[in-house]
Structure 1
Amino acid sequence: MTLDRGSKWRKWDLHVHTPESFEEHYGFDGEEEVEKYDGNHWKKYLDELESVTDDIAALGITDYMSVDGYEKIIEERENGRLEQIDLVLPNIEFRLDDLVVENNSGDTTRINAHVIFSDKFSPETIRERFLHRLEFENQNGESLPLSKGSLNTLGGQHIESNPEENHLSPYVAGCKIVTISFDDILDKLDTKKFRNDHMVVLATEGWDDVNWNSQGHLTKERLFRESDALFSSNEGRREWALGITDGVEEFERSFGKPTPCLWGSDAHSYDRLCEPDEERYCWVKADPTFEGLKQVIHEPKRRVRIQSDSPRDFTPIHTLDELSIENGIVDSQLRIEEESIPLNRDLSAVIGGKGAGKTALLDMIATNFEDRWDRDKEKGEPPSDRNSFIQRIQDKEPDIKTKLSFVGEDVDEFSKQVSDETVFESADLVYLPQGKIEEYCRNEDRLHNRIIALVEREVQRTDPEMVNRLDQLRTTTEEIVENFRTITSNIYDLNPSKLNKEKESLQSRKKRLGGDLQSKKAEISNFEEKHADVLEDDEATDLRNELGKLQEEIEQIEDAEKITESVQEKVSRLSDINTQLRKLEGLLEEIDEGENLPRISIQKVKTEIEKNQERLQTQVNRKRARQDEIEEALEEMNDIQQEYSDLLVEKTTIADKISDTKRELDEIGAKLEQIEDLREERESLFVEYIQKFDEVRNQYQTIIDQFESDSSEILSDISFEPAIKARENLETRLERHIDMRRVDEDRLPNVVNKLTDAIEADTQARRKELSREFLNKTQNLTEKMLSGTKEFEYETTVFDDHLSLVEKIYFRDSPMPNLSLGQKGTVLLKILLAEEDTPLIIDQPEENLDNEFIYETLVGAFRDAKLTRQVIIATHNANLVVNTDAEQVIVANYDNNTIGFESGSLENPDIRERVTTILEGGEEAFRRREERYEIG
């Protein structure tokens, strides 16, 4: 067995006539074509058929009551013709004798039936073991076998009776009038030889002319019940045949089973070859084999469609296309086959015995994506997973390399060593490892994120404003919480503890200074009484005034002395002038020009100056003497005055200190008042936060109502109810700051309960009251804080984001906490399956579930999920492979220390054998799948 992608949509044409049909128009277009093909219609037919079948996977070669055309095609394929076509099946068309249909115009016609055989039968076998055993009656009422000879005989008799049709050959004439009993056809097919290797397809031409209330309705019903499929491209008829129109239960009561509709070009001429009207091509999702075709019986809705384009017309570009494995040696005891494994775009099921490598394959895919490396937030490491193949082999440092390719043409391949933490960043997938269902169910936040994303995405498509309103409300709550934190920071930037200590200190200082001031005033009063005579005497004032005047006079005299000294200096320079005059006289005499020059009288001036200096000095000395007398008298008086003055200064200093203290107290008071305002604002915001969460819950309820009104069938037995809850870690966070030895055991739970009560309050007033009670109780706990705990840390804990939006989840009306682990897993799986279009990988989804529950509950969910996303599972459960109609089965094998893989479709006989051999209940699953529509 090889690696195959499994079932995929392919174009089939199951109704193509050949030149062997008695009614055909495969002629030549002029003599040139006659010459080109030597007059051989088959040569041209083969050329034309090859030219239009490049995208056709399978053909149903159709002839009336004959396999001659099919036989010719088989011969030509053996000679190398029509190699591009994967499958050619014989399709024999019959005109039934059971029902004559008359239309509104009065014209009559008969219902046709087709029998499509497996290609395992040779034309001769079909001819001898089936056709020739069918019988019809000639005009004489004689029974004849359905053979060419008998048809010639019938036609000859007809022409004799109807000479106007002598232009027909006896064979054509016989074919035109022969009818076969439907019961005879079914009888000859119900043999060991053909029983499971044919399909009966009822043509619906004239079908609508038989009213269900007419006499022919019983025949019409019988024909339908005994047919495997209809040939019809009418969408209304298809929906009716599938039970969609009347409902499946009602339809099954009336007709037994939903029935698929097939279609073909019904080509009788070259222009119609593989070109049905209105491009109504027949698409079958199956291997191009007869077993593949038979899948439409078991899956009449999902395996065949009539439309112009492939039903899988859109696939997310990051859908996985292929996994390649290189350097597969783990150690001397284990290696992985180096191969490329194609992956189906719909549902791939990995099966195999214990230790065969199922988890290894999933892990090698998932390790390329972030979801598999989802960090443990506290440790900063990937979460430990004892079932992870990659983690188990890491210590061996294998050099295994994987390469992923994607269906999107513009998406680059991604390759890495399996132990490398590098991941594909352009997209992600969802991976649920084995044994993690319980862990995922316990992670309420993670589950909520999945649910709200699912709900919002679906409602966003129909009412985006509804979702936007919820987003706005959630943003508002986040902004309120951020304001909590900002206000708390602002409060402690002001440092209330320090301010209160300073206030206390300043108040003590002010009180002390007040006492000091009163003491000083008393001291001054006593001093004033004791020295009243001195403090009130004017003599000191007069002496001080005289002393001041003397000082001024002395300064004036000293100025006069300075001027006198200056004059005296200048007079001294005049002496030099007289000396120079005498020298000049001497020179003049020598030149007989002698003349007495006048002299300056210097001595007289000098004498006057000296007298003036003596006078000034005498005045200064007298005044200084008086100054000394006055100072001596004042010194005695100043000791008392100075002491009094000092007392006054001291009183003023104390009064100034009191004023400064009052100013500092005013500043601190303003800051403490600001802190009080901030606390009140924060408290009001907290109440608003609680009330806003109630709005969030109400809006989420509106969105859930909208979601559940048109949610997918996957979630039909699951419902959600929005709820608000206090985060589970609130009590623990408060305990970190409180000395629990000083607190009653139930006090903290009671505090948290007040918050819970506020959430559930039925009025805004009550909600506000309870919110404030919660804050008051947390405030009272500050007295019980651990030593070393900072108030900022405690208040940051109190005023934080304590609430979260969650869902109460109900499965078949039972709340999640009441469910068994298996049922919880079912809820998780259904939520995952209903999510967006990213690939989904699940290892053993059947964990903790019994087989019947899986069949009833999960099979349908997987069938629906694969319509919109790629799903890959590893499983031991046959129902999850067979009755989900997995498009691809990947078989993991462990042999001779080597893990290897094979793959194919369910319709592949080898795969079917492996499913029934490996999986417990495999045969039962196939039987159940077939009996679901009463197919043997």
Structure 2
Amino acid sequence: MIKNKFTKGSEWRIWDLHIHTPNSICQNYGNTPENWEKFISALENLPNDVKVIGITDYYFIDGYEKVMEYKLKHNRLKNIEKIFPILEFRIDTFGSGNENKLQKINLHILFDLDESNLSQEIKLVNEEFISKINISSLDEHKTKSLSKENFISIAGSLKEGFNSLIPSTRQVFEFLNSITWKERTFLFLGYKEWSNLEKNQQLKLIKDNLYSQVGAFFSNNFTTNPSNQSWLDEFGNKKLLHSLDIHEFKYLDTFEFEPDGTQKPSKNYQCNTWIKADPTFEGLKQIKYEPNERVKIQNTNPSFDFDKPYFSSFRFNNDEQIFTDDDDLIFDKSSAIIPLNPNLITIIGGRGEGKSMLTEYIATSFFDKETNKEGVFSKNGNIEVDYCKTIRNQSESLTFPINEDKHSVDFIYINQGNLKNQVEDREKKSKLANSISNLAKLKKSIFNEELNQKVLDNIDELHKLKEFLNENENKIEHLESQEKSTNEFINNITTKENKDKLEKYSKNLIELNTLKLKKVQLENFTKQLNENITSLNEKIVSLNEETKNIPEIEPSSKTFKNQVVAIDLWLKNVNKEIAKIEIEITKVKDEFEKYYKGDLTTLLKDVDKFQNSLFDIRKKIKETKAKQERLTKLTIELFTDNKESKSLISKIEEEYTIQKNKILSDWETFTKVDERKDLNIQQKEIMKNLLNDLDIEVIVDFDEQKFYNEIYHCINGSEWRVKNNKAAQVKHFGIENLSTFFEYIKNKYLQDFYSTGFYKETFTNVLFDENKRKQYIKVFPILKYQKKDLNKISVGQKGTVYLKMMLATEAFSKPIIFDQPEDDLDNEFIMSNLIDLFKNLKKYRQVIIVTHNANLVINADAEQIIIAQNNKGKLKYISGSLENEKINNKICEILEGGHLAFEKRREKYKFIK
């Protein structure tokens, strides 16, 4: 059983699998004790990211044996987590680098040896592999096994023997495929020589056969690696690893010295092979099953390719009772600390083992995260969660004790059945549509407030005008009758002798009244200017608060200088005209006194009285006619369409189309993934995948039932007997849809408003106030999945759509915790889409899944598996990677179809194109 050492799961490390030792047949170190010490020291000074090395000597394992003696007996090489023995063989098939030079093809054999019994393991390699291989395929060497002594005895020297003798490749592969070694070796080929093997298709079958028998290739040229990998991909999916094929100290140097003796980093050492796996043999095998996910050839750590926040650990500082009213269920402190992988984490366990309990308990300690569990969680701070703000700096982290306080960290939490509730528990289509709209960042349809207010104001004004004009004293006929009778009164007190003088007096009187009215208006306007300044200064003081960024407005003489000057000039002219007319009036009175012998004071008072009355009547006639004109204009503006303009009611109707088009435009913008400059190529592909099969139809929905529910409150049942008769209401109004709704308003609203049986204000608000109207008229998108209305697909498909939208909205940011997605999602989507989706998304966000679906664990290539265990009410958690034998066995034990999923994953890349 492999010890569960790497609890954080699969992590990126540099694997340098091509380092020769001073014991190698070809090397430039010098095989002396001093150079061996220097060699070990150089390995100890390799960059921190180098955690796995391969001691790669030709044919023999004694160099590896000596390195491991330093590590195991002398406690050296603590920086290296795993050292593999690799034997480099020559293949007795040759490639051509050019027309004149043949090149031997290199076969690298990596052995999986148990370090706890290393001496016996090395003996096994020597006795059951190396010594059983003939030193060449020549008949004369059938009794000569592969050994340094036989190289020397046959060729005269070790190097000459190495150069001239090649063991039988057929025999090497026979032993490698034996029961002893088939599952304990990993094979590599040298890329350059193998790629030169084929000339004019003559050796294509041999080349393909060699490709099929190895797990990966080696290259020492980082610059050409991408183009060579591209060419290699034509044969299949095997990776081209990079290492310098180190034979001398120069290429082990990680620092060098300036002429003045100062130390500086050296660029001599290079290995750009990053493998995401435990530093174990099983970890290495993952590059065959998931080559594109597990291998990166680049200068920098692939973890830093995309920054993201993530939960970095769960800590169990003490036993914690889970529920306040149940002391039989606790989190066991023996779980200690669970470091969390920043990529894909799956939490598994049998029924009742506590896999969902952990995520539910932790997630609900953060704002806006709801629970499904029955009972009240007990949270006393014995469990802590670490949250790292950036993957590039572990010190940028926060620690949250799980207690009664709610914490503020933004992440998506989908608890068990939550998606199903989202798509089932919503009140019909509009609420689900609103949820979808929010996810797609589709702006809510907002009615044109200016238009809404204008309609309300105009309707209010129209009814006030109607009310005014319907009063007897304001009717034109009544006013004209008053005008006529008042004129008659004036004519009846006027004789031939005083007619001209009285008319002149009346005219002057009218002018005087008009001028005095204008004077009052001008003086009032001056007062308003001053009041406005005072009001504006108060606002300025409020805005400035402690500062004085906005200067206060100076007195009106400066602020409204032009207006004040004009008003003063006008007032002076008005006063002059008043004085002038008053003189004229005095003259008329004087003329009357010369010849009029009657009661002049009474006569002029009567004239004055009737003239003022006539002035008021004519003024009111003018105002009434203006109100009649305004009423006519308002009625046309509200209800009548013509060639020049649309009515306000038609504009309201048109506003819904505008809202509809705006939502469609927002959706188009949302789905134009290729135009987004903030996404890389893979992210764009992820977005396209998420949005695939999704589209929207925007509808303007008129809810007839809700409309008549609102109309119910407008009807006075005592006057109109159809209050509780729905059929009679429908017959009367004739409103069934949006079109008939607006037709009714244009043609019948005024008639009904002025008939009996309605609460007029309520009736008007229901029809014209958008806050009321939106109760029964809504603009919203209907999401289509595979061209089907969301309301016409299964619950699992709805959950699938909702998840896709949720992920598309924030695909590359905050962590997501998803409790048992298989319960909420369409199974076809899980198998054909979700697995690959999570494999891609985990690069850009931390994904934590609670699941009992083996494929989501295995074929999504989860970096970390956390296994929940319940031992008599004590919940405990262990964690590790897929390649960890203990974890591997638990997956197969717990998850139905686990063995099959592993086999499917292993078989995926066993082919040659």
User: TM (normalized to structure 1)?
Assistant: 0.70
Could you tell me how far apart the structure 1 residues matched to 2:651 and 2:823 are?
47
Counterpart residue number, 1:891:
867
2:587 aligned residue:
none
Tell me the residue number matched to 2:524: none
Whether 2:140 is the aligned partner of 1:118: answer no
Q: Of 903, 913, 931, which aligns to 2:879?
A: 903
Deviates more, 1:506-515 or 1:438-447: 506-515
User: Matches of residues 24-423 of structure 1 in structure 2 within 5 Å?
Assistant: 24-27=27-30, 39-79=33-73, 80-97=75-92, 99-120=93-114, 122-137=121-136, 141-144=140-143, 146-148=145-147, 151-159=148-156, 169=157, 171-211=158-198, 213-232=200-219, 257-273=236-252, 279-325=270-316, 328-330=320-322, 331=324, 332-338=327-333, 339-367=336-364, 369-370=366-367, 372-373=368-369, 387=372, 389=373, 392-394=375-377, 402-408=384-390, 409=393, 411-415=396-400, 417-423=402-408
Task: State whether structure 2 residue 422 is matched by structure 1 residue 446.
Answer: no
- 1:474-497: CA deviations, max 9, x gaps? 79x85x6122233245446x6543
8 Å CA contact 1:137, 1:144 repeated in 2: no
Q: Which residue of 1 aligns with 2:891?
A: 915
Residue aligned with 1:123, SS? helix
Kept after mapping to 1: 8 A contact 2:734/2:744: no
Moved more, 866-875 or 776-785: 776-785
Deviations 1:225-244 (A, max 9, x none): 111111136689977897x6
Map Cα deviations across residues 566-617 of structure 1 (whole Å, 9 max, x no partner): xxxxxxxxxxxxxxxxxxxxxxxxxxxxxxxxxxxxxxxxxxxxxxxxxxxx
Does 2:453 align with 1:486?
A: yes
**1:182, 1:81 → 2: CA distance?**
36
Pairing partner for 1:820 from 794, 799, 802: 794
Q: Is the 8 A contact 1:708 1:719 kept in 2?
A: no
Instruction: Write out per-residue CA displacement over residues 599-646 of structure 1, whole angstroms, 9 at most, x where no aligned residue.
Output: xxxxxxxxxxxxxxxxxxxxxxxxxxxxxxxxxxxxxx99xx999999
Equivalents in 2 of 1:718, 1:16: separation in Å? 48
SS where residue 392 of structure 1 aligns? coil
Structure 2: runs of 5+ lacking an equivalent = 255-266, 427-431, 499-597, 639-645, 676-680, 716-722
Deviation sequence 1:138-184 (CA, Å, 0-9, x none) = 76533145442xx423433223xxxxxxxxx3x33322223233332
Cα-to-partner distance string for 1:710-754 (whole Å, 9 max, x where unaligned): 841564482343432225768636742455746657689985743
The alpha-carbon distance between structure 1 residues 777 and 681, as it changes in their structure 2 partners (threshold 3 A), is closer
Contact 2:766 2:772 in 1 (8 A): no
What does 1:686-835 align with in structure 2 at a 5 Å threshold?
686=652, 689-690=655-656, 692-693=658-659, 696=662, 699=665, 703=669, 706-707=672-673, 711-713=684-686, 715-716=688-689, 718-726=692-700, 732=706, 735-738=709-712, 739=715, 741=724, 744=727, 753-754=737-738, 773=743, 776=746, 779=749, 783=753, 789=762, 791-792=764-765, 794-797=767-770, 804=779, 806=781, 808-811=783-786, 816-834=790-808, 835=811
Structure 1 residue 931, shift from structure 2 partner: 1.5
- Structure 2: distance between partners of 1:508 and 1:498: 13
Q: For residues 105 and 445 of structure 1, do their structure 2 counterparts lie closer, same or farther at Cα, with a shift above 3 Å needed?
A: same
Out of 464, 470, 482, the position equivalent to 1:498 is: 464
Instruction: Name the SS for the 1:437 alignment partner.
Output: helix
**Can you list the C-alpha shifts for 1:192-230, whole angstroms capped at 9, x where unaligned?**
332222111111122332336421111111000111111
Alignment CA distance shift 1:721-1:831 (3 Å) = closer
2:410 paired with 1:431: no
Q: Matches of 1:220 and 1:282 in 2, distance apart?
A: 24
Residues 714 and 646 (structure 1), Cα distance of their counterparts in 2 relative to 1, 3 Å cut = closer
d(CA) in 1 for partners of 2:789, 2:866: 37
Give 1:10's match in structure 2, choosing from 10, 13, 29: 13
Distance in 2 (CA, whole Å) between partners of 1:138 and 1:521 is 141
| Alpha-carbon displacement from aligned partner over 1:401-448 (angstroms, at most 9, x marks no partner) | 643321534745152545434423xxx222222112234346222223
Q: Judging changes above 3 Å, is the alpha-carbon distance between structure 1 residues 828 and 245 closer, same or farther for their aligned structure 2 residues?
A: farther
| Structure 1 counterpart of 2:547 | none
Aligned match for 1:844, one of 807, 820, 823: 820
Distance in 2, matches of 1:647 and 1:138, equals 147
- How far, CA to CA, are the matches of 2:817 and 2:387 in structure 1? 16
The share of aligned pairs that are identical, in percent, is 25
Aligned residue pairs, count: 745
Does structure 2 conserve the Cα–Cα contact (< 8 Å) formed by 1:851 and 1:877?
A: no
Asked if the contact 2:417/2:823 (under 8 Å) is kept, the reply is yes
Contact 2:343 2:843 (C-alpha < 8 Å) held by counterparts = yes
Shift of 1:923: 1.2
Asked if 2 retains the 8 angstrom alpha-carbon contact of 1:438 and 1:821, the reply is yes
CA 1:302–1:536 in structure 2 vs 1: closer, same or farther (change >3 Å)? closer
Q: Pick the structure with greater CA Rg.
A: 1
Q: Which range is displaced more, 126-135 or 664-673?
A: 664-673
Q: 1:518 to 1:748 in 2, by over 3 A?
A: closer
Q: Kindly provide the CA deviation profile for residues 297-350 of structure 1, in whole angstroms up to 9, marking residues without a partner as x.
A: 101111011111112224435222223456722342222235433221110111
Structure 2 counterpart SS, 1:90: strand
Report the secondary structure of 1:25's partner residue. Answer: coil
Given the superposition, is the C-alpha separation of residues 903 and 660 from structure 1 closer, same or farther in structure 2, using an over 3 Å criterion?
A: same
Please give the alpha-carbon distance, in whole angstroms, between the structure 2 residues aligned to 1:334 and 1:63.
56
**Secondary structure, in 3 states, of the residue corresponding to 1:341?**
strand
After superposition, the Cα gap between the structure-2 partners of 1:880 and 1:240, relative to the gap in structure 1 and judged at 3 Å, is farther
Task: Give SS of 1:100's match.
Answer: strand
Q: Deviations over 1:332-369 (max 9, x none)?
A: 22222354332211101111122322223323443355
CA contact (8 A) 1:731 1:749 kept: no
Query: In structure 2, what is the Cα distance between the partners aligned to 1:177 and 1:875?
Result: 58
What is the rounded CA distance, in whole Å, between the counterparts of 1:72 and 1:191 in structure 2? 27
Q: Which of 880, 902, 910 pairs up with 1:926? A: 902
1: CA distance between counterparts of 2:291 and 2:240? 8
Mapped partners of 2:252, 2:205: distance in 1: 36
Q: What secondary structure is seen at the aligned counterpart in 2 of 1:449? A: helix
Q: Would the aligned equivalents of 1:322 and 1:406 in 2 still touch at CA under 8 Å?
A: no
Match of 2:568 in 1: none
Measured on the aligned residues, the alpha-carbon RMSD in Å equals 4.3
Distance 1:238 1:360, change over 3 A: farther
Q: Does 1:662 align with 2:637?
A: no
Identify if the C-alpha distance between structure 1 residues 153 and 324 changes in structure 2 by more than 3 Å, giving closer, same or farther: closer
User: In the aligned structure 1, how far is the partner of 2:166 from the partner of 2:841?
Assistant: 47
